[in-house]
């Protein structure tokens, strides 16, 4: 008898960003005077919008008095936040999503991972490659991914390559899939799908009675027209798609923790509403995001909060432009960074392996990147640079790399 879940033993020993943190820590310890510039994990560096900070202070004060203190909140989130999301993120874009279809959480990472709790055995998964590693690792933990092949792929996953040769657009399959994970604007490549391209996948899902898990964590970074902010802008998506959103990159909430997932009532599997199942899962295993985080998140929807959050996005996008332009000038092939805070960069010919280039950048330039292969086999030969640093350090990193 297995005392522990044997699927955990199939996983790589550490999660991608833990491995990077480990290598970075070891290097820093051996080289205490090195001034590392972190452009690896997409973690924010700017202070949060003052409207959010004020709202969180007020929330703390409310907890201090007998009249306004709060205990457990509603597991799916306070109505003040779900209503604000419904109005500003959906109704304002012509999409009808009711508060009862919105589940507030501690972020998109946990929701994209936890949703696989709902999967039955033998599910056919389609996952883009490269991809945010959480989708694959979480499915591997749940026994839905089969076995690793030693080259970064899993036997139970159908990979949908999104690379330079297909313009980073996953091609439709003839084969049947039950669940397809899509993340756009994309992490890690920073690329997007146009409405017509996303519509093809929605049509596929409707035809195949499949589900699309749409990770829209980077939606606020969209600058171009015709790039959908929500999958529900596509007709029919309310019958086949779950959408994940996050306040982490939108308003600097990586440490505060708050996000949400939309599960429309019309999304069903074998006649069962996923909304009811997700509610059952969440009410059992999750007690809701803190009142303080939710008050902070609701402030993003005030005029002042919105303006401040958009200023943060603009700041980070300016860094993305700095990276893209500097690296392109130096002859690197670059993608993304226009509608996303990530720039996806082909490694130079003398460093065909992502980890080797990562190591070179760390040791010779003191710049931390993320090796593309950490996001899947199609990421080999690429690195990702994150735009979440300061203007000064981003420019300094470019100077160091190009020197
Ligand atoms: C990333 O760098 O890919 C993200 O910050 C990871 C995350 O959001 O969990």
What's the whole-number mean pLDDT along residues 251-266? 98
Residue matched to tokens 């980073």: 168
C-alpha distances out from residue 325 to 181, 236, 315, 333, 336, Å: 30, 39, 16, 10, 11
Nearest protein CA to atom 9 of ligand 1, as residue:
109
Coil, helix or strand for 28?
helix
Report which ligand 1 atom has the smallest distance to the Cα of 370: 2
Check residue 138 and give its pLDDT: 97
Interval 130-154 mean pLDDT: 95
Q: State mean pLDDT over 319-323.
A: 98
Token duo for residue 301: 């929807």
Secondary structure letter of residue 104 according to DSSP: E
Q: How far is the CA of 271 from the centre of ligand 1 (A)?
A: 34
Residue from 177, 185, 235 nearest 209 by CA: 177
Q: How much distance in Å is there from the Cα of 335 to the middle of ligand 1?
A: 18
Read off φ and ψ for residue 253, nearest 5 degrees.
Answer: -95, 20
Confidence of residue 152 (pLDDT cuts 50, 70, 90): confident
pLDDT tier at 144 (50, 70, 90 boundaries)? Answer: very high
Nearest atom in ligand 1 to 109's CA:
9
Looking only at the bridges linking them, the beta strands covering 259-262 and 211-215 are unpaired
Kindly give the distance from the C-alpha atom of residue 72 to the centroid of ligand 1, in angstroms, as a whole number.
Answer: 28
Look up tokens 């798609």; give the residue.
Answer: 241
Integer CA distances (angstroms), 338 to 131, 218, 390, in order: 19, 12, 17
> pLDDT tens across 50-99, in order?
999 999 999 999 999 999 999 999 999 999 999 999 999 999 999 999 99
Grade residue 270 by pLDDT with cuts at 50, 70 and 90.
confident
**Which of 337, 349, 333, 353 shows the shortest CA–CA distance to 394?**
337
Distance 2 CA to ligand 1 centre (A): 32
* Residue 37, beta-bridge partner list: 367
Q: Please work out whether the CB of residue 41 comes within 6 Å of at least one atom of ligand 1.
A: yes
DSSP H/E element including 281? helix 274-285
Residue of 15, 21, 24, 41 to test ligand 1 pocket, by largest number of atoms within 8 Å of CB: 41
Do 107 and 321 meet the contact criterion of CB atoms below 8 Å apart?
no
Cα 41 to ligand 1 centroid, rounded to whole Å: 6
Query: Is residue 109 in contact with ligand 1, taking CB distance under 6 Å?
Result: yes
Distance between CA atoms of 114 and 103, rounded to whole angstroms?
13
End-to-end CA distance of the chain: 58
- Answer for the pair 232, 278: CB distance below 8 angstroms, yes or no: no
Residue the block writes with tokens 């735009």: 387
pLDDT of residue 146: 97
Contacts of 127 (CB under 8 A, 6+ apart): 135, 136, 139, 157, 158, 159, 160, 180, 181
The share of the chain scoring above pLDDT 70, in percent, equals 100
User: CA torsion angle for 311, 316, 321, 326 (degrees, to 10)?
Assistant: 140
Cα separation, 115 vs 108, in Å, equals: 10
Measured from the Cα of 132, ligand 1's closest atom is 3
Across 311-324, average pLDDT = 98
Q: Residues near 205 by Cβ (< 8 Å), separated by ≥ 6?
A: 180, 211, 212, 240, 241
Task: For residues 186 and 152, give the distance between their C-alpha atoms in angstroms, rounded to a whole number.
Answer: 20
DSSP state of 329: H
Q: Residue 295: is its pLDDT beyond 90?
A: yes
> Ligand 1 centre and the CA of 260: distance in Å?
16
- Ligand 1 pocket test, pick from 42, 340, 382 with the greatest ligand atom count within 8 Å of Cβ, gives 42
pLDDT, averaged across the chain: 97
Q: Is residue 187 within 6 Å of ligand 1 at its C-beta?
A: yes
Percentage of the residues of the chain whose pLDDT score is greater than 90: 96
Q: Which of 209, 174, 175, 182 is nearest to 198 (CA)?
A: 182
User: Residue 339: CA atoms inside 13 Å, Cβ hemisphere, count?
Assistant: 20
Residue 188: asked if its preceding bond is cis (omega within 30°), the reply is yes
Q: pLDDT value at position 1?
A: 61
Query: Per-residue pLDDT averaged across 240-262, rounded?
Result: 97
* Burial (CB count <10 Å: 0-12, 13-18, 19+), residue 296: buried
For the chain, what is the total number of helices (H) and then of strands (E)?
Answer: 12, 15
Average pLDDT for 357-368: 98
Q: Is the CB of 42 under 6 A from ligand 1?
A: yes
203 CA distance to ligand 1 centroid (A)? 29
């Amino acid at each position: 008898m297995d005392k522990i879940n044997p699927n955990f033993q199939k996983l790589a020993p550490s999660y991608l960003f833990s491995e990077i943190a480990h290598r970075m820590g070891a290097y820093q310890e051996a080289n205490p005077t090195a001034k590392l510039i972190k452009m690896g994990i997409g973690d924010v560096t700017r202070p949060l919008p003052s409207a959010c900070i004020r709202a969180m202070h007020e929330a703390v004060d409310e907890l201090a008095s007998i009249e306004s203190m709060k205990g457990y909140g509603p597991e799916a989130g306070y109505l003040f936040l779900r209503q604000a999301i419904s109005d500003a993120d959906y109704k304002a874009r012509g999409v009808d999503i009711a508060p009862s279809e919105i589940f507030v959480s501690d972020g998109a990472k946990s929701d994209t991972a936890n949703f696989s709790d709902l999967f039955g055995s033998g599910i056919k998964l389609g996952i883009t490659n490269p991809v945010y590693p959480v989708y694959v690792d979480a499915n591997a933990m749940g026994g839905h991914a089969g076995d690793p092949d030693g080259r970064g792929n899993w036997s139970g996953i159908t990979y949908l390559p999104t690379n330079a040769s297909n313009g980073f657009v996953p091609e439709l399959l003839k084969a049947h899939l039950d669940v397809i994970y899509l993340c756009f604007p994309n992490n890690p490549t920073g690329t997007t799908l146009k409405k017509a391209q996303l519509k093809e996948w929605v049509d596929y899902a409707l035809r195949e009675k499949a589900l699309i898990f749409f990770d829209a964590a980077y939606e606020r970074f969209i600058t171009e027209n015709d790039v959908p902010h929500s999958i529900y802008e596509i007709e029919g998506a309310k019958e086949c798609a779950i959408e994940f959103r996050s306040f982490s990159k939108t308003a600097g909430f990586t440490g505060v923790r708050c996000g949400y997932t939309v599960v429309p009532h019309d999304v069903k599997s074998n006649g069962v509403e996923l909304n009811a199942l997700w509610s059952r899962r969440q009410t059992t295993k999750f007690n809701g995001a803190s009142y303080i985080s939710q008050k902070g998140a609701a402030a993003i929807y005030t005029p002042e909060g919105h303006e401040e959050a958009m200023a943060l996005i603009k700041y980070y996008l300016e860094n993305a432009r700095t990276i893209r332009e500097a690296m392109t000038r130096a002859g690197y092939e670059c993608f993304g960074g226009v509608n996303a805070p990530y720039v996806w960069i082909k490694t130079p010919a003398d460093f065909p392996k992502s980890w080797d280039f990562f190591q070179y950048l760390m040791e010779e330039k003191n710049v931390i990147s993320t090796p593309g292969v950490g996001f899947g086999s199609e990421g080999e030969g690429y690195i990702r640079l994150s735009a979440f640093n300061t203007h000064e350090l981003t420019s300094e990193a470019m100077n160091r790399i190009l020197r």
